Amino acid sequence: MKKINYLLLILISPLLWACEGYLDKPDSDDITVEKAFESVRSARKVLNNLYSEVRGAAYNISTRNIPYAMACDDGIAGYNLWTQKFQSGSWTADDNRGAGDDAETDPPTVSFWNNTYKRIRKANLFMENLYRATGDEADKARMMAEAKFLRAFFYSELIRRFGGVIILDHSVDPNDYSSLTNQPRETFENSVEWVCNELAEAAKGLPAVCSSADVGRATDAACYAAIARLRLTAASPLFNTDSPVLPSYTTTQYYGNYDKNRWKLAADACRFVMEQRSQYYGLDLSNVDTAEPDSWENYYRRFINRYFIVGKESVWIAYEKENWGGVKIPWNNRQSGGWNWVNPSYQLALEFEMYPSGKMPMDEESGYDMQNNANGKDRDPRFKATIQAPNATYDAYGFEPWAGGKASELQSQRTGMCLQKYIDPLYNDVTAETRNVRKNIIHIFRYNEILLNYAEAMNEYTGPTSDVYSAINAIRSRVGMPDLPSNLTQDQMREKIRHERRVELAYEDFRFFDIRRWRIAEDVCNEYIQGYDVTKGKDGGFYTIVNVGDRMVFEKKHYLFPLATAEILMNPALEQNPGWPKLSTATN
């Protein structure tokens, strides 16, 4: 009788928090296919395991603890992490192919390809065996659509990093890869179209919204959010062009031509959520306790589940996999018992406008004073909710990163700033107060991204129409920031949209990919990360802006991830991405 390893298919963890009733562990470490798919109830356990991949480190920043933002121009690590390889340009096709998604020092490049195909195999196994389950056929149809959605989502994230992919719509024995020994990658266009078609098909079998007991399960809105993100990526300058970033690009890496209609396809997917599902999804303007709707206190509560009520903004969410016993220890500052792994860059800090004028800090008339940040009251409210600035105070802790300050630690404190997003300001690990055992809310798809994607796609397709203004201004007004100035040109609006994405989506794993698809990474990631001079005292030079670490290195080959040498040795038909060696020095 055929067996499936328990660790491969079951490992049963909850579907977010809603399905603990399904999680009875089997008596042995192995389970037969027949037993796993004996009923809809048992098959749900297998599907739960597939969902648990989204809660894992590959897609969940809070489980990973290492934001992609520290691998570009938005920050720098306060510890020896894989982001340093990205910033130094030293990542290779020989990096550890067998690394886990949560590895601290191995970059998620070649390993991401390998690990994603394991996830895809799980989805294929599920879809191939669900027919065995007895139970309600409507439940089975929905579960099949959920697995189709998850498989397509996994593929979309591969395309985002590698370009064209090998499409497997059936399971492959991990001990016998003979069927893949001469299989090439699909073209970029075919890869995108296949995934978008799969998502559209999955949407037909999914509900518009989940009940409170099913939060985190797939919906048709999640399908179209995934289509919108992938279509936006595909329509962007890295891929939608007849002038590739490297002359050796083939149709595996890009379209080979420019087509403005690709922007419309992205906008259309957004429009499905914005118009056909408007009764279920929108910006969350709910107020909690005494927080003002446009305050930083209300904004940060989108990410902390102590305040979380399932709202209209959450299109598809996940919780972190780990349940830390403290206030997100790797991210918080030393003063409150954290490790200060995340050091935002001064470049990012300057992106947050002055409040309420909307002027950029470096504008001569802005009134910006780098030595007196007014505890964030004179900045866009998202500033204090995202970045701990020098001398900032929160309910249970402050932040004194200068030499001699309570948060000073030269090994980890590098820019004089610390991450605040995802951190509960009411708890302090140093004090004897009740520790924060609550988990972060990770929005895989959030309505604000839908608006930003729509604004960008429509600006590129039609220019800065009223619809473009409305989408951006809705996000800004939610935090009390003024509307964009009228009569912007298309180029000016493009810069405003990119600015708004950087601020609104900071440390949500967007900037790293945005600067690649926009083809500006070589401009912004060949500079130094900047920050305050943390070697000096508060009144002795700390507020001098200095270069931090080594100058970043970004080459044109870095726009796409490399495939592992071991993968190419196994499958000679596999096309390496341009600029990376087809065969390198190791076989992993």
Low-confidence winner among 293-302, 418-427, 432-441, 506-515 (lowest mean pLDDT): 432-441
- State the alpha helices, DSSP H only, in 163-260: 188-203, 220-235
The answer as to whether 204 is a domain residue is yes
Q: Is the pLDDT of residue 438 over 60?
A: no
Q: Does residue 356 have a cis bond before it (omega within 30 degrees)? A: yes
- Determine contact, residues 12/91, Cβ cutoff 8 Å: no
Amino acid at 270: C
Q: At what angle do helices 110-129 and 40-55 cross, to 10 degrees?
A: 170
When divided into structural domains, the chain yields a total of 1
Q: Is the pLDDT of residue 14 over 70?
A: no
Exposed, middle or buried by CB within 10 Å (0-12, 13-18, 19+), for 51? buried
DSSP H/E element including 30: strand 30-32
Give the model's pLDDT for residue 350.
Answer: 97
Give the model's pLDDT for residue 376.
Answer: 84
Cα–Cα dist 464/491, whole Å: 9
Res. 77 pLDDT band, cuts 50 70 90 = very high
Write the DSSP symbol of residue 552: P
Distances in Å between the alpha carbon of 40 and those of 43, 75, 191, 203, 472? 5, 46, 32, 20, 44
Exposed, middle or buried by CB within 10 Å (0-12, 13-18, 19+), for 479? buried
Cα–Cα dist 510/83, whole Å: 15
Low-confidence winner among 24-33, 494-503, 564-573 (lowest mean pLDDT): 24-33
DSSP H/E element including 3: strand 3-5
Tokens of 26: 């089997």
Res. 336 pLDDT band, cuts 50 70 90 = confident
Res. 443 pLDDT band, cuts 50 70 90 = confident
User: Residue 547 phi/psi, 5° resolution?
Assistant: -75, 140
Q: What number is the average pLDDT over the span 247-276?
A: 98
Res. 1 pLDDT band, cuts 50 70 90 = very low
- Determine contact, residues 132/121, Cβ cutoff 8 Å: no
CATH code, domain with 209: 1.25.40.390
Cα–Cα dist 137/119, whole Å: 25
Tell me the whole-structure pTM to 2 decimals.
0.92
Helix, strand, coil shares of the chain, percent, nearest 5, are 40, 5, 55
The answer as to whether 414 is a domain residue is no
Distances in Å between the alpha carbon of 393 and those of 27, 112, 156? 51, 39, 40
Give the model's pLDDT for residue 285.
Answer: 75
What one-character-per-residue DSSP string does 327-390 give? S-TTTS-GGGT----EEE-HHHHTTSPBTTT---TTSTTS---TT--GGGTTB-HHHHHHEE-T
Beta bridge partners of 317: 443
Length of the chain counted residue by residue: 588
Please indicate whether residue 86 or residue 568 has the higher confidence score (pLDDT): 86
Q: At what angle do helices 447-462 and 490-504 cross, to 10 degrees?
A: 170
For the segment 352-385, what is each residue's pLDDT rounded down to a tens digit?
999 999 999 999 999 999 888 778 889 999 999 9
Write the DSSP symbol of residue 107: -
Res. 408 pLDDT band, cuts 50 70 90 = confident
Write the DSSP symbol of residue 558: G
Q: Is the pLDDT of residue 177 over 50?
A: yes
Residue 198: half-sphere exposure toward Cβ, Cα within 13 Å: 23
Tokens of 518: 């926009």
Beta bridge partners of 541: none
The answer as to whether 39 is a domain residue is yes
DSSP H/E element including 140: helix 137-162
Tokens of 136: 């309600």
The answer as to whether 112 is a domain residue is yes
**What is the percent of the chain where pLDDT is above 70?**
84
Give the model's pLDDT for residue 307.
Answer: 52
- State the alpha helices, DSSP H only, in 246-305: 261-271, 296-300
Cα–Cα dist 161/171, whole Å: 23
The answer as to whether 163 is a domain residue is yes
What one-character-per-residue DSSP string does 486-523 give? SS--HHHHHHHHHHHHHHHTTTSS-HHHHHHHTT-HHH
Query: b/e for 175-190, b at 16 or more Cβ within 10 A?
Result: eeeeebeeeebbbbbe
The answer as to whether 90 is a domain residue is yes
- Determine contact, residues 39/132, Cβ cutoff 8 Å: no
The answer as to whether 113 is a domain residue is yes
Beta bridge partners of 5: 30
Q: What number is the average pLDDT over the span 439-451?
A: 87
Q: Is the pLDDT of residue 429 over 90?
A: no
Q: Is the pLDDT of residue 537 over 70?
A: yes
Tokens of 339: 């490790």
Residue corresponding to tokens 């429509």: 458
**What is the percent of the chain where pLDDT is above 90?**
68
Q: Is 305 left (phi over 0), alpha (psi -120 to 50) or beta?
A: alpha
Q: In whole numbers, what is the pLDDT of the chain averaged over residues?
A: 87
Q: Which residue in 130, 121, 239, 136 sits closest to 176, CA to CA?
A: 121
Q: Is the pLDDT of residue 158 over 90?
A: yes
DSSP H/E element including 531: strand 529-532
The 3-state secondary structure of 417-436 reads CEECCCCCCCCCCCCCCCCC
The answer as to whether 141 is a domain residue is yes
Q: Is the pLDDT of residue 271 over 60?
A: yes
Q: Is the pLDDT of residue 8 over 60?
A: no
Angle, vertex CA 244, rays to CA 503 and CA 106, nearest 5: 60
Give the number of other Cβ atoms within 10 Å of residue 282's Cβ. Answer: 18
Residue 255 lies in domain: 31-275
Rounded to an integer, what is the distance from CA 109 to the centroid of its chain? 15
Res. 509 pLDDT band, cuts 50 70 90 = very high
